[in-house]
Amino acid sequence: MVSLNRNLILAFLCVLLCFVVSFSNAQLSANFYGTSCPNLQTIVRNAMTQAVNREARLGASILRLFFHDCFVNGCDASILLDDTSTFIGEKNANPNRNSARGYEVIDTIKTQVEAACPNVISCADILALAAREGTVLLGGPSWAVPLGRRDARTASQSAANTQIPAPSSSLATLISMFSAKGLSARDMTALSGSHTIGQARCTTFRNRIYNDTNIDPQFAATRRATCPASGGDANLAPLDIQTPNRFDNDYYQNLVVRRGLLHSDQELFNGGSQDALVRSYSNNGASFRSDFAAAMVKMGNISPLTGTNGEIRTNCRAIN
């Protein structure tokens, strides 16, 4: 009898341990909040609609925020944490300082979500959904967003400074940095198409318009008019000069005629391994949209915190 009880206890402990391991390594699922917060996606969609109607650029800003979050320790909402007297976050890292924006939109969505479903939805999942909605609102593709992420209790300014590709990056560097996150060269080229929307600061493209040789002269002259050789660092220019507020494949058409705004943009079409894919996307918008949606799902799966890891922040700007 004692032996039987011991065996039963061991079997129970084994089941319990397996459950804990399984829970802490839970996989993301598109219907993760299907019963705990069924109106989640409607709340995010309505809030993003209001934000983008107010300022179209916010669709691009939120998409960029998600990208910069995922590339630093995974998609864990670490980018949303404010600095404190004892904590230095990612907001003032070089790639984000004076350029990352849209935080207040995520705050608004979080407030509305908390009112409907308190202590259930992570800021990381809200950011992932908001990035999708912003893309769709500007005419881009939709995709099923896998959910179930939890929020980080820490952030890394040093990782943000070293792991987010710079606008001066070479093709080899871009391929390498995306590969380090489990993303292929094709994923990288498709995700770069997010530059079909949004704007960039003069400081990020000044060297290209004054010093690069693989640039259309008329395009360079146009950009120099609002981006002087010195000063005016914060002056803005559209990443896609044709349709900056519409998600389409014009970005790739611009690359083919040497009108990429950033050095890193034009690297995708500069006699290298991605030339054929860029030309394909420039001719086939449907192919780009399909690859972009698939790559967004892959990027959203970079090292998420799930199960018992991390937390559900009640305020996206601070740990609980």
pLDDT in tens, 271-300: 999 999 999 999 999 999 999 999 999 999
- Structural domain including 207 reads 171-299
Tell me how far apart the alpha carbons of residues 309 and 6 are, in angstroms, rounded to a whole number.
31
> Do 210 and 236 lie in a common domain?
yes
What is the rounded average pLDDT of the residues 91-99? 96
In a domain? residue 178? yes
Q: Are residues 126 and 240 in the same domain?
A: no
| pLDDT confidence of residue 80 | 98
Q: Is residue 11 part of a domain?
A: no
Question: Do 214 and 122 belong together in one domain?
Answer: no
Residues 175, 295, single domain; the answer is: yes
Neighbouring-strand partners of residue 29: 147
**Shared domain check, 187 and 115:** no
- Res 86: pLDDT: 86
Q: Predicted confidence band at 19 (pLDDT cuts at 50, 70, 90)?
A: very low
Flag whether pLDDT at 24 surpasses 90: no
Do residues 80 and 178 both lie within one domain?
Answer: no
- Which of 97, 129, 164 is at the close of a domain? 164
Residue 234 main-chain phi, psi, to 5 deg? -90, 0
Place of tokens 């402990």: 13
Would 88 be classed as within a structural domain? yes
Backbone φ, ψ for residue 65 (5° rounding): -60, -45
Tens of pLDDT, residue by residue over 242-278, are 999 999 999 999 999 999 999 999 999 999 999 999 9
Tell me: pLDDT of 214 over 80.
yes
| pLDDT tens digits, one per residue of 122-173 | 999 999 999 999 999 999 999 999 999 999 999 999 999 999 999 999 999 9
Q: Residues of the chain with pLDDT > 70: what percent?
A: 92
- Identify whether 89 is part of a domain: yes
Residue of 179, 197, 161, 194 whose CA lies nearest to 89: 161
**Residue 237, H or E segment:** strand 236-238
Band (26; pLDDT cuts 50, 70, 90): low
Last residue of a domain, one of 164, 196, 219: 164
Q: How many domains, in total, are found in the chain?
A: 2
Positions marked catalytic:
68
Encoding tokens for residue 314?
């009640």
- Helix, strand, coil percent values for the chain (each to nearest 5): 55, 5, 40
In the chain, % of residues over pLDDT 90: 90
Q: What is the distance between the alpha carbons of residues 283 and 277, in angstroms, rounded to a whole number?
A: 10
In a domain, 105, yes or no: yes
CATH number of the domain that residue 265 is part of:
1.10.420.10
Indicate if 199 and 231 belong to the same structural domain: yes
Residues 46 and 148 in one domain: yes
**45-71 pLDDT per residue, tens:** 999 999 999 999 999 999 999 999 999
pLDDT of 38 > 60? The answer is yes
**Annotated binding residues for substrate:** 165
Q: What is the CATH number of the domain that holds 112?
A: 1.10.520.10
136 with 247, same domain?
no
User: Does some domain include residue 2?
Assistant: no
Angle made by CA atoms 181, 187, 193, in degrees to the nearest 5: 120
Average pLDDT value for the chain:
93
Same domain, 117 and 64: yes
Whose CA is closest to 204, among 91, 100, 81?
100
User: 80 Cβ partners below 8 Å, 6+ apart?
Assistant: 69, 103, 106, 123, 127, 316, 317
Which residues make Cβ contacts (< 8 Å) with residue 286, sequence separation at least 6? Answer: none
**Which residue numbers belong to the known binding site?**
69, 72, 74, 76, 78, 90, 165, 195-196, 240, 243, 248
| pTM above threshold 0.85 | yes
**Given the structure tokens 């202590």, which residue do they identify?**
119
Q: Which of 102, 130, 164 is the last residue of a domain?
A: 164
CA distance 305 to 311: 9
Cβ pair 186, 175 in contact under 8 A: no
The model's pLDDT over 172-182, given as tens digits with 9 standing for 90+, comes to 999 999 999 99
Query: 73 and 144: one domain?
Result: yes
C-alpha distances in Å from residue 270, one per residue of 5, 153, 219, 309? 71, 41, 17, 43
